[in-house]
Amino acid sequence: MPEKIVDAWGSSEVKIDAKLISQFGLKQFSQDELKHYKHYLFERGIIVAHRDFGLIDGRIKNKQKFLQVTGIAATGPLHLGHKVDVDLFVYLNSLGAKSYFVVSDIDAYTSRPSSSVPSMEAAKENAAADVADLLALGVEKSDIYVQSRKEPRYYEFAFELSKILTENEIKAIYGSLNPGKIAANLLQYADILHPQLKEFDGPMPSITGIGIEQDPHARAVRDIAHRLPYKFFSPSFIYFTHLPGLQQDKKMSKSEPDTAIFLGDSAKDIKRKINKAYSGGKDSVEEQRKYGANVEIDRAFAILNYHHPDTEFVNDVREKYSSGKMLSGELKQICTEFLTEMLAKHQEKVEKSKTTAEKIVYG
Protein backbone atom coordinates (compact mmCIF):
# COMPACT_ATOMS: atom_id res chain seq x y z
CA MET A 1 0.00 0.00 0.00
CA PRO A 2 2.54 2.66 -0.98
CA GLU A 3 -0.20 5.33 -1.03
CA LYS A 4 -0.51 5.01 2.73
CA ILE A 5 3.21 5.49 3.30
CA VAL A 6 3.64 8.60 1.25
CA ASP A 7 1.53 11.68 0.84
CA ALA A 8 1.98 13.33 -2.53
CA TRP A 9 0.70 16.66 -1.16
CA GLY A 10 2.10 16.53 2.35
CA SER A 11 5.13 18.05 3.97
CA SER A 12 6.55 15.41 6.31
CA GLU A 13 9.88 13.81 5.57
CA VAL A 14 10.09 10.27 4.16
CA LYS A 15 13.09 8.09 5.02
CA ILE A 16 14.26 6.13 2.01
CA ASP A 17 15.99 2.81 2.57
CA ALA A 18 16.46 -0.45 0.67
CA LYS A 19 13.19 -1.81 2.07
CA LEU A 20 11.13 1.16 0.87
CA ILE A 21 12.84 1.06 -2.51
CA SER A 22 11.97 -2.59 -2.99
CA GLN A 23 8.45 -2.11 -1.63
CA PHE A 24 7.87 0.57 -4.27
CA GLY A 25 9.30 -1.60 -7.04
CA LEU A 26 12.13 0.84 -7.64
CA LYS A 27 15.68 -0.10 -8.62
CA GLN A 28 18.92 0.99 -7.01
CA PHE A 29 21.69 2.24 -9.27
CA SER A 30 24.39 -0.28 -10.17
CA GLN A 31 28.05 0.44 -9.31
CA ASP A 32 28.69 0.77 -13.06
CA GLU A 33 26.00 3.42 -13.41
CA LEU A 34 27.23 5.32 -10.37
CA LYS A 35 30.77 5.27 -11.75
CA HIS A 36 29.60 6.64 -15.11
CA TYR A 37 27.64 9.59 -13.69
CA LYS A 38 30.31 11.54 -11.91
CA HIS A 39 28.08 14.25 -10.51
CA TYR A 40 28.15 14.59 -6.72
CA LEU A 41 24.40 14.01 -6.54
CA PHE A 42 25.08 10.44 -7.70
CA GLU A 43 28.30 10.03 -5.70
CA ARG A 44 26.92 11.13 -2.34
CA GLY A 45 23.83 8.94 -2.05
CA ILE A 46 21.42 11.80 -2.81
CA ILE A 47 20.01 10.10 -5.88
CA VAL A 48 18.92 6.78 -4.48
CA ALA A 49 16.73 4.88 -6.93
CA HIS A 50 15.08 4.86 -10.32
CA ARG A 51 12.45 3.42 -12.63
CA ASP A 52 13.75 2.50 -16.10
CA PHE A 53 16.90 4.59 -15.91
CA GLY A 54 18.44 1.96 -18.21
CA LEU A 55 16.55 3.46 -21.16
CA ILE A 56 18.19 6.82 -20.54
CA ASP A 57 21.58 5.31 -19.76
CA GLY A 58 21.52 3.58 -23.17
CA ARG A 59 20.61 6.80 -24.94
CA ILE A 60 23.38 8.75 -23.20
CA LYS A 61 26.02 6.13 -23.92
CA ASN A 62 24.94 5.92 -27.60
CA LYS A 63 24.76 9.70 -27.87
CA GLN A 64 21.07 9.50 -28.82
CA LYS A 65 18.49 12.16 -28.08
CA PHE A 66 16.40 11.78 -24.94
CA LEU A 67 14.01 14.01 -23.02
CA GLN A 68 14.07 15.37 -19.53
CA VAL A 69 11.20 17.13 -17.85
CA THR A 70 11.24 18.80 -14.45
CA GLY A 71 9.05 21.33 -12.80
CA ILE A 72 8.46 23.47 -9.78
CA ALA A 73 5.19 24.92 -8.55
CA ALA A 74 5.10 28.72 -8.52
CA THR A 75 4.05 28.94 -4.88
CA GLY A 76 6.77 31.24 -3.61
CA PRO A 77 10.53 31.77 -3.37
CA LEU A 78 12.90 28.86 -4.07
CA HIS A 79 15.06 27.32 -1.34
CA LEU A 80 18.08 25.03 -1.24
CA GLY A 81 15.81 21.98 -1.60
CA HIS A 82 14.68 23.17 -5.02
CA LYS A 83 18.28 23.83 -6.00
CA VAL A 84 18.92 20.08 -5.87
CA ASP A 85 16.26 19.48 -8.56
CA VAL A 86 17.69 22.29 -10.64
CA ASP A 87 21.31 21.10 -10.28
CA LEU A 88 20.26 17.64 -11.47
CA PHE A 89 18.38 19.19 -14.39
CA VAL A 90 21.41 21.24 -15.44
CA TYR A 91 23.63 18.14 -15.19
CA LEU A 92 21.31 15.94 -17.29
CA ASN A 93 21.04 18.75 -19.81
CA SER A 94 24.83 18.74 -20.08
CA LEU A 95 24.61 15.01 -20.93
CA GLY A 96 22.60 15.79 -24.07
CA ALA A 97 18.96 15.85 -22.92
CA LYS A 98 16.34 17.84 -24.79
CA SER A 99 15.13 19.58 -21.64
CA TYR A 100 11.80 21.02 -20.49
CA PHE A 101 11.57 22.94 -17.23
CA VAL A 102 8.00 23.87 -16.35
CA VAL A 103 7.19 26.54 -13.80
CA SER A 104 3.66 25.56 -12.82
CA ASP A 105 1.75 28.76 -12.37
CA ILE A 106 -1.72 27.42 -13.18
CA ASP A 107 -1.53 24.33 -11.02
CA ALA A 108 0.04 26.28 -8.16
CA TYR A 109 -3.11 28.39 -8.16
CA THR A 110 -5.69 25.63 -8.69
CA SER A 111 -4.28 23.07 -6.24
CA ARG A 112 -3.00 25.16 -3.34
CA PRO A 113 -5.03 26.92 -0.68
CA SER A 114 -5.88 30.54 -1.44
CA SER A 115 -3.89 31.54 1.65
CA SER A 116 -0.81 30.28 -0.22
CA VAL A 117 -1.58 31.36 -3.81
CA PRO A 118 -4.54 33.78 -3.79
CA SER A 119 -4.78 34.43 -7.55
CA MET A 120 -3.33 33.68 -10.96
CA GLU A 121 -1.63 37.07 -10.76
CA ALA A 122 0.14 36.01 -7.58
CA ALA A 123 1.12 32.70 -9.21
CA LYS A 124 2.65 34.59 -12.13
CA GLU A 125 4.60 36.91 -9.83
CA ASN A 126 5.97 33.85 -8.07
CA ALA A 127 6.75 32.32 -11.46
CA ALA A 128 8.71 35.37 -12.61
CA ALA A 129 10.85 35.28 -9.45
CA ASP A 130 11.37 31.53 -9.79
CA VAL A 131 12.36 31.77 -13.45
CA ALA A 132 14.99 34.39 -12.58
CA ASP A 133 16.42 31.89 -10.05
CA LEU A 134 16.42 29.10 -12.64
CA LEU A 135 18.28 31.23 -15.16
CA ALA A 136 20.83 32.19 -12.51
CA LEU A 137 21.29 28.48 -11.66
CA GLY A 138 22.18 27.72 -15.27
CA VAL A 139 18.88 26.54 -16.81
CA GLU A 140 18.74 27.63 -20.44
CA LYS A 141 16.18 30.25 -21.33
CA SER A 142 14.75 28.19 -24.19
CA ASP A 143 14.16 25.19 -21.90
CA ILE A 144 11.85 27.04 -19.48
CA TYR A 145 8.10 27.51 -19.89
CA VAL A 146 5.18 28.53 -17.70
CA GLN A 147 1.90 26.60 -17.95
CA SER A 148 -0.03 29.75 -18.83
CA ARG A 149 2.00 30.42 -22.00
CA LYS A 150 2.06 27.29 -24.12
CA GLU A 151 0.99 26.10 -27.56
CA PRO A 152 -2.71 25.12 -27.91
CA ARG A 153 -1.68 21.49 -28.49
CA TYR A 154 -0.36 21.34 -24.93
CA TYR A 155 -3.71 22.38 -23.45
CA GLU A 156 -5.69 20.18 -25.80
CA PHE A 157 -3.53 17.30 -24.62
CA ALA A 158 -4.04 18.16 -20.93
CA PHE A 159 -7.81 18.03 -21.47
CA GLU A 160 -7.51 14.84 -23.52
CA LEU A 161 -6.01 13.17 -20.45
CA SER A 162 -9.31 13.69 -18.62
CA LYS A 163 -10.80 11.07 -20.94
CA ILE A 164 -8.17 8.51 -19.91
CA LEU A 165 -8.14 9.15 -16.15
CA THR A 166 -10.88 7.50 -14.14
CA GLU A 167 -12.59 8.73 -10.99
CA ASN A 168 -11.29 5.72 -9.07
CA GLU A 169 -7.74 6.29 -10.16
CA ILE A 170 -7.77 9.87 -8.94
CA LYS A 171 -9.43 8.85 -5.69
CA ALA A 172 -6.77 6.19 -5.14
CA ILE A 173 -4.01 8.79 -5.48
CA TYR A 174 -5.62 11.69 -3.60
CA GLY A 175 -8.52 10.35 -1.62
CA SER A 176 -10.58 13.21 -3.07
CA LEU A 177 -11.92 14.60 -6.33
CA ASN A 178 -11.33 18.28 -5.77
CA PRO A 179 -11.72 19.95 -9.20
CA GLY A 180 -8.66 22.17 -8.67
CA LYS A 181 -6.48 19.16 -7.90
CA ILE A 182 -7.88 17.24 -10.86
CA ALA A 183 -7.00 20.21 -13.08
CA ALA A 184 -3.50 20.33 -11.56
CA ASN A 185 -3.08 16.65 -12.37
CA LEU A 186 -4.12 17.01 -15.95
CA LEU A 187 -1.53 19.75 -16.35
CA GLN A 188 1.23 17.88 -14.50
CA TYR A 189 0.72 14.73 -16.55
CA ALA A 190 0.65 16.85 -19.71
CA ASP A 191 3.90 18.51 -18.60
CA ILE A 192 5.64 15.16 -18.33
CA LEU A 193 4.15 13.54 -21.45
CA HIS A 194 3.60 16.31 -24.01
CA PRO A 195 7.25 16.44 -25.19
CA GLN A 196 6.63 12.97 -26.67
CA LEU A 197 3.78 14.23 -28.90
CA LYS A 198 4.68 14.43 -32.58
CA GLU A 199 4.02 18.20 -32.46
CA PHE A 200 6.93 18.48 -29.98
CA ASP A 201 9.82 15.95 -30.04
CA GLY A 202 7.95 12.72 -30.74
CA PRO A 203 8.01 9.49 -28.72
CA MET A 204 11.29 8.82 -26.93
CA PRO A 205 12.57 7.97 -23.45
CA SER A 206 12.24 10.75 -20.93
CA ILE A 207 13.60 11.26 -17.44
CA THR A 208 12.24 13.20 -14.48
CA GLY A 209 13.82 13.60 -11.07
CA ILE A 210 11.38 13.46 -8.12
CA GLY A 211 11.16 12.82 -4.43
CA ILE A 212 9.81 9.40 -3.49
CA GLU A 213 6.62 10.95 -2.06
CA GLN A 214 5.73 11.82 -5.69
CA ASP A 215 5.87 8.17 -6.73
CA PRO A 216 2.06 7.70 -6.90
CA HIS A 217 2.10 10.29 -9.69
CA ALA A 218 5.05 8.62 -11.39
CA ARG A 219 3.23 5.29 -11.46
CA ALA A 220 0.02 6.90 -12.69
CA VAL A 221 1.72 8.78 -15.51
CA ARG A 222 3.68 5.67 -16.59
CA ASP A 223 0.42 3.77 -16.80
CA ILE A 224 -1.41 6.56 -18.64
CA ALA A 225 1.41 6.76 -21.20
CA HIS A 226 0.40 3.32 -22.45
CA ARG A 227 -3.31 4.02 -22.57
CA LEU A 228 -2.93 6.90 -25.01
CA PRO A 229 -2.90 6.33 -28.76
CA TYR A 230 0.54 7.93 -29.24
CA LYS A 231 3.06 5.08 -28.79
CA PHE A 232 4.71 6.94 -25.90
CA PHE A 233 7.61 5.51 -23.94
CA SER A 234 6.86 5.10 -20.24
CA PRO A 235 8.63 8.05 -18.64
CA SER A 236 11.65 7.07 -16.53
CA PHE A 237 12.15 8.54 -13.08
CA ILE A 238 15.07 9.04 -10.73
CA TYR A 239 14.40 9.55 -7.06
CA PHE A 240 16.36 11.73 -4.73
CA THR A 241 16.24 12.14 -1.01
CA HIS A 242 15.17 15.57 0.14
CA LEU A 243 17.59 17.94 1.76
CA PRO A 244 16.22 17.89 5.31
CA GLY A 245 14.74 20.99 6.88
CA LEU A 246 16.88 23.04 9.27
CA GLN A 247 14.85 21.80 12.18
CA GLN A 248 14.29 18.27 13.35
CA ASP A 249 11.72 16.06 11.51
CA LYS A 250 10.69 18.62 8.90
CA LYS A 251 11.65 18.97 5.27
CA MET A 252 12.52 22.31 3.72
CA SER A 253 9.27 23.93 2.88
CA LYS A 254 8.13 27.19 1.32
CA SER A 255 5.19 27.19 3.69
CA GLU A 256 7.45 27.06 6.79
CA PRO A 257 10.19 29.63 6.12
CA ASP A 258 12.29 28.79 9.18
CA THR A 259 12.83 25.26 7.93
CA ALA A 260 14.73 26.45 4.87
CA ILE A 261 17.49 28.61 3.45
CA PHE A 262 15.95 30.53 0.55
CA LEU A 263 18.01 31.42 -2.48
CA GLY A 264 17.30 35.08 -1.75
CA ASP A 265 18.40 34.95 1.93
CA SER A 266 20.87 37.60 3.12
CA ALA A 267 24.18 36.89 4.89
CA LYS A 268 22.45 37.80 8.15
CA ASP A 269 19.52 35.39 7.51
CA ILE A 270 21.96 32.61 6.66
CA LYS A 271 24.06 33.14 9.76
CA ARG A 272 21.04 33.17 12.05
CA LYS A 273 19.35 30.14 10.47
CA ILE A 274 22.52 28.00 10.40
CA ASN A 275 23.35 28.91 14.00
CA LYS A 276 19.89 27.68 15.05
CA ALA A 277 20.00 24.59 12.79
CA TYR A 278 19.68 21.08 14.23
CA SER A 279 23.13 19.69 14.93
CA GLY A 280 24.62 16.20 15.11
CA GLY A 281 27.44 17.41 17.35
CA LYS A 282 27.68 16.53 21.02
CA ASP A 283 26.44 18.80 23.78
CA SER A 284 29.88 19.75 25.12
CA VAL A 285 33.27 20.35 23.49
CA GLU A 286 34.70 17.53 25.60
CA GLU A 287 32.13 14.98 24.45
CA GLN A 288 32.45 16.10 20.84
CA ARG A 289 36.27 15.71 20.97
CA LYS A 290 35.83 12.27 22.53
CA TYR A 291 32.88 10.75 20.59
CA GLY A 292 32.60 12.86 17.41
CA ALA A 293 29.37 14.02 15.75
CA ASN A 294 26.54 12.13 14.11
CA VAL A 295 26.90 13.66 10.62
CA GLU A 296 23.84 11.83 9.30
CA ILE A 297 21.47 14.08 11.23
CA ASP A 298 23.48 17.30 11.07
CA ARG A 299 21.78 19.98 8.98
CA ALA A 300 24.85 22.14 8.29
CA PHE A 301 26.67 19.04 7.09
CA ALA A 302 23.67 18.06 4.94
CA ILE A 303 23.82 21.43 3.21
CA LEU A 304 27.50 20.92 2.35
CA ASN A 305 26.77 17.36 1.21
CA TYR A 306 23.88 18.44 -1.08
CA HIS A 307 25.47 21.59 -2.44
CA HIS A 308 29.24 21.86 -2.08
CA PRO A 309 30.76 20.92 -5.43
CA ASP A 310 34.07 19.57 -4.02
CA THR A 311 33.60 15.97 -2.89
CA GLU A 312 37.12 15.72 -1.40
CA PHE A 313 36.44 18.74 0.76
CA VAL A 314 33.06 17.35 1.88
CA ASN A 315 34.65 13.97 2.72
CA ASP A 316 37.36 15.73 4.70
CA VAL A 317 34.76 17.67 6.71
CA ARG A 318 32.79 14.46 7.31
CA GLU A 319 35.87 12.66 8.60
CA LYS A 320 36.95 15.52 10.89
CA TYR A 321 33.47 16.23 12.24
CA SER A 322 32.46 12.62 12.86
CA SER A 323 35.80 11.86 14.53
CA GLY A 324 35.61 14.88 16.83
CA LYS A 325 38.46 16.80 15.23
CA MET A 326 35.93 19.45 14.15
CA LEU A 327 33.42 21.12 16.46
CA SER A 328 29.82 21.94 15.58
CA GLY A 329 30.56 25.68 15.68
CA GLU A 330 33.42 25.26 13.22
CA LEU A 331 31.23 23.26 10.83
CA LYS A 332 28.48 25.88 11.05
CA GLN A 333 31.05 28.56 10.32
CA ILE A 334 32.22 26.68 7.20
CA CYS A 335 28.62 26.13 6.07
CA THR A 336 27.68 29.76 6.67
CA GLU A 337 30.68 31.05 4.71
CA PHE A 338 30.03 28.63 1.85
CA LEU A 339 26.34 29.59 1.61
CA THR A 340 26.97 33.31 1.99
CA GLU A 341 29.42 33.36 -0.89
CA MET A 342 27.36 31.03 -3.10
CA LEU A 343 24.09 32.88 -2.58
CA ALA A 344 25.63 36.34 -2.95
CA LYS A 345 26.95 35.30 -6.36
CA HIS A 346 23.57 33.72 -7.18
CA GLN A 347 21.70 36.87 -6.21
CA GLU A 348 23.91 38.95 -8.50
CA LYS A 349 23.01 36.66 -11.40
CA VAL A 350 19.31 36.81 -10.45
CA GLU A 351 19.37 40.59 -10.80
CA LYS A 352 20.68 40.23 -14.35
CA SER A 353 18.07 37.55 -15.21
CA LYS A 354 14.96 39.44 -14.17
CA THR A 355 14.12 41.02 -17.52
CA THR A 356 14.46 37.70 -19.35
CA ALA A 357 12.38 36.00 -16.65
CA GLU A 358 9.55 38.51 -17.03
CA LYS A 359 9.54 37.97 -20.78
CA ILE A 360 9.17 34.23 -20.28
CA VAL A 361 6.22 34.68 -17.90
CA TYR A 362 4.43 37.71 -19.35
CA GLY A 363 5.55 37.64 -22.99
Nearer to its own copies, 64 or 176 (CB): 176
> Residue 162, interface with its own copies (CB under 8 A)?
yes
> Residue 32, interface with its own copies (CB under 8 A)?
no
Contact region for its own copies (CB under 8 A) — 6-14, 53-61, 181-189, 209-217?
Answer: 181-189
Contact region for its own copies (CB under 8 A) — 41-49, 54-62, 151-159, 272-280?
Answer: 151-159
Nearer to its own copies, 123 or 252 (CB): 123
> Residue 248, interface with its own copies (CB under 8 A)?
no
Give the span between the Cα atoms of 74 and 79, in whole angstroms: 12
Give the span between the Cα atoms of 93 and 86, in whole angstroms: 10
Contact region for its own copies (CB under 8 A) — 171-179, 210-218, 265-273, 299-307?
Answer: 171-179
Nearer to its own copies, 134 or 224 (CB): 224
Nearer to its own copies, 185 or 253 (CB): 185
Q: Which of 122, 127, 187, 212 binds its own copies (CB under 8 A)?
A: 187
Q: Which of 176, 255, 315, 356 binds its own copies (CB under 8 A)?
A: 176
Each residue of 125-138: b (16+ CB within 10 Å) or e?
A: bbbbbbbbbbbbbe
Give how many residues touch its own copies by CB under 8 A.
35
Nearer to its own copies, 170 or 327 (CB): 170
Contact region for its own copies (CB under 8 A) — 80-88, 114-122, 134-142, 250-258?
Answer: 114-122
Nearer to its own copies, 153 or 250 (CB): 153
Q: Which of 10, 175, 180, 309 binds its own copies (CB under 8 A)?
A: 180
> Residue 200, interface with its own copies (CB under 8 A)?
no
Q: Which of 48, 73, 102, 106 binds its own copies (CB under 8 A)?
A: 106
> Residue 148, interface with its own copies (CB under 8 A)?
yes
Q: Which of 31, 62, 166, 284 binds its own copies (CB under 8 A)?
A: 166
CB of 127 to its own copies, least distance (A): 12
Print the SS3 string covering the chain. CHHHHCCCCCCCCCCCCHHHHHHCCCECCCHHHHHHCCCHHHHCCCEEEEECHHHHHHHHHCCCCEEEEEEEECCCCCEHHHHHHHHHHHHHHHCCEEEEEEEEHHHHHHHCCCCCCCCHHHHHHHHHHHHHHHHHCCCCHHHEEECCCCCHHHHHHHHHHHHHCCHHHHHHHHCCCCHHHHHHHHHHHHHHHHHHCCCCCCCCCEEEEEEHHHHHHHHHHHHHHHHCCCCCCCCEEEEECCCECCCCCCECECCEHHHCCECCCCHHHHHHHHHHCCCCCCCCHHHHHHHCCCHHHCHHHHHHHHHCCCHHHHHHHHHHHHHCCCCHHHHHHHHHHHHHHHHHHHHHHHHHHHHHHHHHHHC
CB of 317 to its own copies, least distance (A): 46
Q: What angle do CA 340, 341, 342 make, to 5 degrees?
A: 95
Which spans of this chain sit near its own copies (rule: CB under 8 A)?
106-107, 109-110, 114, 119-120, 147-150, 152-153, 155-156, 158-160, 162-163, 165-167, 170, 176-180, 182-184, 186-187, 229
